[in-house]
Structure 1
Amino acid sequence: MSCSKYMPAPVCLIENYENGKLHVKKEAKDILDAINEPVVVVSVVGLYRTGKSYLMNRLAGQQSGFALGSTIESKTKGIWMWCVPHPNKKGHTLVLLDTEGLGDVAKGDSKNDSWIFCLAVLLSSTLVYNSRGTIDNTAVEKLHYVAELAENIKIKSAEDEEEGEDSDFVMFFPSFTWVVRDFTLDLEIDGKKVTDDDYLEFALNLKKGLGRKINDYNLPRECIKRYFPSRKCFVFPFPVTSQEDMTRLEILQDQDLAQQFLEVTKHFCDHLFVNSAVKRLKGGHIVTGQLLGRLVEIYVDKINSGEVPCLDNAVVVLANQENQAAVQEALKVYQRGMEEVKNMLPISIEYLTCEHQKFSRLATSEFMKRSFKDEKTEYLKKLEVS
């Protein structure tokens, strides 16, 4: 499908109600249902009013789209989605997810923030964390949602649980990119020039020693390192010189923005276009827009019911849904073919048998294209006896 035709602007994917409940919007789900291509999913998270939406608009190749806002009020509520044709991968769709700003004082619900953060992690193949100023201890502490991931997401279902489960997280979590906006320092450590990535790794160094203060300092850093071994950093200078222009970013032309800011923006976008992977399920199955829409519903239902989302269970539910649909699609192929044969009657038994076998093979082929994790061939057998 040509996504730009369907999505001239972002739509709300997950609405965040005041009572803390989440709701999947039908309009967004319908858009995902129409995408049969593999998806590359980039989510951006961060404190509210840090300019997350500007970067997402740039990734979409647009000047505006995701609401930027120019006041201290948080503009993005819930999770908003924009699907565009992938600029580098033909036959793939780039799904951009802009999340509600974390730490919005008007909301005052840190648990709800944790779920928004978890959904961004669960749904994306690349997670962008957007912050302002420097990567100091305060900035790292504000990413405390990472330390809560092991409590809020499970890899295995209860009966398969075992010690050391969080070491499995790495295999299924997105790559991680930290964006530091309005950075004014020199990129130097001990008098030597360093890269953006060196700066991030330096900020994530652990302190030696024991005691509560040191443990509190090390915990978020240990979690970031453990859960996101694939890490990247971009430091952005101020885009403009005047405070007034900072509130008008989406209407400013490129010539009004600082050259270095534009260069980093281009480098950031190019990096994500080339390096963001296709979203895959546990087990390696490629996620299409259709499957992504179903995943969103499965995870949101689980959170609303007060349970912790489990990757294994989500894949099982998704596989059952897909395999049932695959059986129905395969049956249609067989029935359409045999309907044509029926219109040719009378015919010989040999010809009828030959056509039956031909359309049975076509139906099986159709089933195999869509089905996954039918390890006990339960659904293939259903197709054969139908």
Structure 2
Amino acid sequence: PGFGRHLTMQSPVCLIDNDVDGKLFVKESALQILQKIEQPVVVVAVVGLYRTGKSYLMNRLAGKQTGFELGSTIESKTKGIWMWCVPHPTKAGTTLVLLDTEGLGDVDKGDSKHDTKIFCLAVLLSSTLVNNSQGTIDNKAIEELQYVTELTEYIKVKSSDDDEDDTEFVKFFPSFIWVVRDFTLEQKIKGKSVTEDQYLEFALKLKSGNSRPVKEFNLPRECIRNYFPSRKCFTFPFPTTSEKVSRLESLDSADLSFEFLEVTDRFCKFIFDKSEIKKLKDGYIVTGRVLCQLVKTYVDTISSGQVPFLENAVLTVSVIENESAVKEGLQVYQSGMEKLKDSFPLELRDVCAEHQRLSSIATQTFMGRSFKDSEGTYTKCLEVMPSK
């Protein structure tokens, strides 16, 4: 498969797996794929309870009928986080990275915090987070998203002890889409028809009062509202008759309801048009290669039981990327000067001119790859290139 400029992945691969003790680790083969993607990435992650049809939507976003495994049996199919990188259908020069996460709420898991870790990784890695649930957005559905209330325990912006403001988190967090599957209610509030987004905002309304039940009711809603100020909702009707639902991926469009297909198309179009390129603090654009470093940093930190500090992760990526950028720049210069030896003897004037030319190309090569070298530390490394 050709990577970098045109990427071809025929099917998804496991990006983050669990070992026999349930500890999360990154698959080297998946990192090698990301490492080769020099394009900016739009990262869409889907979370939700297992057996709610998350994988179907991800396959549609990939422009395929099958790929991510659909769990039609009681057992949860997806373990860890699976990744599918495809050329972005509407943004030229961009790669769409789809992350399908292990179904949350699977009773077979031993580690009670496992789901929270998967949820946190989906938040940390994505530029758009899709929460997939069934039925209605009622109190139960919001309580099932309890992981949102634990995010601040698992993610910190800075390693200093200063109290952190929610607005700091928001700079790093993805936009949020709530997908409601098998929605059968009329979209009405107090007898008046409402849009999907109004339906979501109504479900996230806070109650007034200070009693304990009111605080417990408000907490997950406050977290969703504060951490994800950019919110969107899609309500999907039943896709087909109940006996065919378990075969969703093998059904033709003719077997699926027109309304279901219409919402699916709207959902895909919205993601393609509105999902942003993944960025870090201060607007730094994430390429596949940078995402590769982020995955490693976050998974290593979370697996070792520590809390990932977002600024430290950016710092780690910066060091790795800039060291590589210096190496690439020097390589360009050195191989050019080696070639020059073949033309010896030369006038000093010609050697100096070639030195200047290669220095300039080396600097451009460095600038093309450098990452947040605001202090100019790494640029200085290039300046010490031999001038003889």
TM-score by length of 1: 0.97
Q: Which of 75, 86, 92 pairs up with 1:84?
A: 86
Deviations 1:12-65 (A, max 9, x none): 000023423111111111111111111000000001111100100010011111
Q: What residue is the counterpart of 1:162 in the other structure?
A: 162
Q: What residue is the counterpart of 1:222 in the other structure?
A: 222
Q: What residue is the counterpart of 2:277 in the other structure?
A: 278
Q: Assess if the C-alpha contact under 8 Å between 2:294 and 2:317 holds in 1.
A: yes
The yes-or-no answer on 1:111 pairing with 2:113 is yes
Tell me the distance in 2 between the aligned counterparts of 1:58 and 1:205. 32
Q: What residue is the counterpart of 2:174 in the other structure?
A: 174
Gaps of at least 5 residues in structure 2 are none
Select between 103-112 and 268-277 the one with higher mean Cα deviation: 103-112
1:201-212 alignment, distance < 5 Å: 201-212=201-212
Deviation at 1:375, TM superposition (A): 2.2
Q: What residue is the counterpart of 1:128 in the other structure?
A: 130
Deviation at 1:168, TM superposition (A): 0.7
Deviation at 1:183, TM superposition (A): 0.4
Q: What residue is the counterpart of 1:188 in the other structure?
A: 188
1:300-319 alignment, distance < 5 Å: 300-319=299-318
Deviations 1:314-355 (A, max 9, x none): 010100000000011001110122122211111111111111
Q: What residue is the counterpart of 2:64 in the other structure?
A: 62
Deviation at 1:108, TM superposition (A): 4.2
Gaps of at least 5 residues in structure 1 are none
Partner SS state of residue 234, structure 2: strand
Q: Assess if the C-alpha contact under 8 Å between 1:47 and 1:131 holds in 2.
A: yes
Q: Assess if the C-alpha contact under 8 Å between 2:3 and 2:37 holds in 1.
A: no
Moved over 6 A (4+): none
Q: Which residue type is aligned with residue 187 of structure 1?
A: Q
Percent of aligned pairs with the same residue?
62
Deviation at 1:373, TM superposition (A): 1.9
Partner SS state of residue 229, structure 1: coil
Tell me the distance in 1 between the aligned counterparts of 2:203 and 2:71. 30
Q: What residue is the counterpart of 1:322 in the other structure?
A: 321
Q: What residue is the counterpart of 1:288 in the other structure?
A: 287
Distance 1:24 1:164, change over 3 A: closer
1:234-245 alignment, distance < 5 Å: 234-241=234-241, 243-245=242-244
Q: Assess if the C-alpha contact under 8 Å between 2:3 and 2:36 holds in 1.
A: no
Select between 162-171 and 56-65 the one with higher mean Cα deviation: 162-171
Tell me the distance in 2 between the aligned counterparts of 1:350 and 1:326. 29
CA RMSD, aligned part only?
1.3
Aligned residue-pair number: 383
Distance 1:18 1:134, change over 3 A: farther
